[in-house]
Amino acid sequence: MLLSPKFSLSTIHVRLTAKGLLRNLRLPSGFRKSTLIFHTVEKGRQKNPRSLCTQTQTSPDVLSAEKTLELAQYKAKCENQRGFILQLKQLLSCGNTKLEALIIVIQHLLSEREEALKQHKTLSQELVNLRGELVTASTTCEKLEKARNEIQIAYEGFVQKLNQQHQTDLTELENRLKEFYTGECEKLQNIYIEEAEKYKTQLQEQFDNLNAAHETSKLEIEASHSEKVELLKKAYETSLSEIKKSHEMEKKSLEDLHHEKQESLEKQINDLKSENDTLNEKLKSEEQKRISREKANLKNPQIMYLEQELESLKAVLEIKNEKLHQQDIKLMKMEKLVDNNTALVDKLKRFQQENEELKARMDKHMAISRQLSTEQAVLQESLEKESKVNKRLSMENEELLWKLHNGDLCSPKRSPTSSAIPFQSPRHSGSFSSPSISPR
């Protein structure tokens, strides 16, 4: 330790002089002038006794006035110096606290330095021990490297021998596998060919059976269709003959009715003619009477007017009779047409029903033919799929044969020599790699 615990600030204060304090302490800018004044006053005090002695001899009044002035100046200076001294005391107290803090920091640093020295000693001892261990480790490492080189040389020789054995075993296994796979492929190819031929024969038989069934069903349907068409033709012909017969019967009946009505009309016409003749005779007689009356009654105008009205009424009656005769003829024709239309409507209904039945039968036949065509298409698709499968199998067989001839296939199981090897060297790992392809 540089400083003892009994070392205090009072001893430092005794040793320091006033000049040293004034030089070392840094005062503010306002107090520096006062220090200079203080030094000058002290110097003046040292020089004043001689001047005072000379002045006391000259004039006491002047001295009294000067003394009062000097006393006032001294009082002012003393007050200034007191304030300055107080400030110096305060600065000294602050400096003392700072020095105490510095002493504490120095003591702490010295304690840390002692601890660091102790740690340095322990670390130096450890470093010496580690250097010794490093020397021993380097010697053991050199020995181990020599042993490793020897073991590596022996290992490389052993690996070369194992590689040679492995290559010989691989060649033998490849030859065996080629022979085995050629035999297997030939067997599989023969089996595939036999199965393909069986499937072909089965499909051909099924196709022939379906074709035969389709043809027989087609022939049966055509025969039934032709029979039905013939039956329909016969029914149509019979219905036509019946319709013709009924038409002829109706025609005959209509002709008979026409003859009867014509005879009745002729009778009516004859009756009307006879009536007309009688009426004409009556008219002639009446005209003669009228002429005679006119001659007799030329002078009567009312009778003339009545006769004219009678003539006009007769003309109107004749016109109405003609219209009634024409309407009777039209009614007869309309009745005939209505009867013919009703008969034709009934015949049309019958023919429409027969046509609908025939259409339904034709739709059934078309549905059956469509079903047969769809079945035929499905069979053709199945045949095409099976032919594609056969082609794919033949292609796979060809690929297997080509791989066997080129030597790409290898055994799925490992050889006992290769499985017995516990490890492989990184340098010669390429010599142990062999392709492993599983058989299909």
Kindly report the number of other CB atoms within 10 A of residue 162's CB atom: 19
- pLDDT category at 421 given cuts 50, 70, 90 is very low
Give residue-wise pLDDT tens across range 62-90: 778 888 888 888 888 888 888 888 988 88
Q: pLDDT at residue 407 above 70?
A: no
Helices H / strands E in the chain, number of each: 6, 0
Terminal-residue alpha carbon distance, the chain: 95
In whole angstroms, give the CA distance from residue 186 to residue 180.
10
Question: Which structure tokens are listed for 347?
Answer: 């015949």
Give residue-wise pLDDT tens across range 303-317: 667 777 777 777 888
Structure confidence at residue 41 (pLDDT):
40
- pLDDT category at 36 given cuts 50, 70, 90 is very low
Three-state SS string over 334-387 comes to: HHHHHHHHHHHHHHHHHHHHHHHHHHHHHHHHHHHHHHHHHHHHHHHHHHHHHH
Mean pLDDT, rounded, for 403-429: 47
CA torsion through residues 49, 51, 57, 58, sign = negative
Structure confidence at residue 229 (pLDDT):
76
- pLDDT category at 296 given cuts 50, 70, 90 is low
Structure confidence at residue 106 (pLDDT):
92
Tell me how far CA of residue 109 lies from CA of 68, 93, 95, in angstroms.
60, 24, 21
> Among candidates 96, 103, 88, which has minimal Cα distance to 21?
88
Distance of CA 342 to the CA centre of its chain: 71
- Of the listed ranges 93-97, 160-164, 220-224, 275-279, the least confidently predicted one is 275-279
What percent of the chain lies above the pLDDT cut of 70? 75
Give residue-wise pLDDT tens across range 141-181: 888 888 888 888 888 888 888 888 888 888 888 888 888 87
- pLDDT category at 104 given cuts 50, 70, 90 is very high
Nearest-5° Cα angle at 84, 80 to 90:
150
Kindly report the number of other CB atoms within 10 A of residue 397's CB atom: 17
- Of the listed ranges 46-50, 290-294, 374-378, the least confidently predicted one is 46-50
User: How does the average pLDDT of the chain come out, rounded?
Assistant: 73
The single-letter DSSP state of residue 25 is S
The single-letter DSSP state of residue 242 is H
Sorted by where each begins, the domain ranges of the chain are 31-134
Structure confidence at residue 301 (pLDDT):
66
CA torsion through residues 417, 423, 426, 427, sign = negative
Question: Which structure tokens are listed for 220?
Answer: 């049966």
Q: pLDDT at residue 419 above 50?
A: no
Structure confidence at residue 299 (pLDDT):
52
